[in-house]
Amino acid sequence: MSEDLSDFLSSWPYEPGKLNVRIVRASDGRTVLQVRLDLGILQMELDGRPDGLRPEGYESLLDLYEDRRDEAEAGLPDPEGAEHEPPDATPPDGEFALSPDDCRALRDEAMQYSHRYVALLAAEDYERVVRDTTRNLRLFDFCAKHAETEADRTMLEQFRPYVTMVRARALASQALKDNEPKAAILAIDEGLNALRQHFANAGHTEAYNASNEVRMLQSMRDALVPKLPVSQKSELRRRLDRALAQENYELAAILRDELKQLPE
């Protein structure tokens, strides 16, 4: 068998300005995700780690380190022995922490998943996009809580708005495929709330309105509002009254904005 890939590449020409994605069946019967690049083809697994590896038998490094964290917090010994312990996963004081090398490995893994969910979004496989973005947000939280250094605790936060936006967009797109515009708007609103909370936690509330991710979700929401049933208005008013009664003024403000955007 020739090792030259010229014929294979010419059978699927690269198209500039377009994310060229396809899902194909491999020789062993499984399906894989392929992305056509200008210099070749990138192939990823649809499930598990995109590169198909299973670190120490786990689905991903994140799963491995989460298990080590659970064992450390429960005070359980490693049943496999010290030789299988991830490097620097537990500091001398016995409390679980992620070393700079651990965090670097987790960031590299997160990058693999980000390549895949961007491609899956183009392939309109929204359920897997939600799966992978949810997983990466979990990884961000894990590093923010357990990294030894402040730099590693905060390094991934710059990507949180984008991942949050993609997740909300995928949830809304899946709802639209299911002919559920109301659920789509709810997914977008939840994404906007998460973005608002992110910027508030970071002490940059003014960045919310300037965020490209916020604008993207708001534009998508604006396009969906005319598709809502008229009865949505009365339901929103009931929710607004309930929010005011519970003194949940942040939710009340969001619901007022929703009411203003509904057609008369």
Q: Mean pLDDT score of the chain, rounded to an integer?
A: 88
**Of the given ranges (3-17, 97-111, 198-212), which has the lowest mean pLDDT?**
3-17
For the stretch 98-118, pLDDT in tens is: 999 999 999 999 999 999 999
Q: How far apart (Å, rounded) are the C-alpha atoms in residues 70 and 54?
A: 19
> Does 87 or 60 have the greater pLDDT score?
60
For the stretch 14-43, pLDDT in tens is: 999 888 999 999 989 999 999 999 999 999
Cβ atoms within 10 Å of 181's Cβ, excluding its own? 18
For the stretch 239-249, pLDDT in tens is: 888 888 888 88
Q: How far apart (Å, rounded) are the C-alpha atoms in residues 172 and 220?
A: 9
Total-model pTM: 0.78
Of residues 47, 105, 94, the one with CA closest to residue 68: 94
Residue with token string 């955007």: 261
Q: Where are the domains of the chain?
A: 1-46, 47-228
So what's the architecture of 47-228 in CATH? Alpha Horseshoe (1.25)
pLDDT at 230: 54
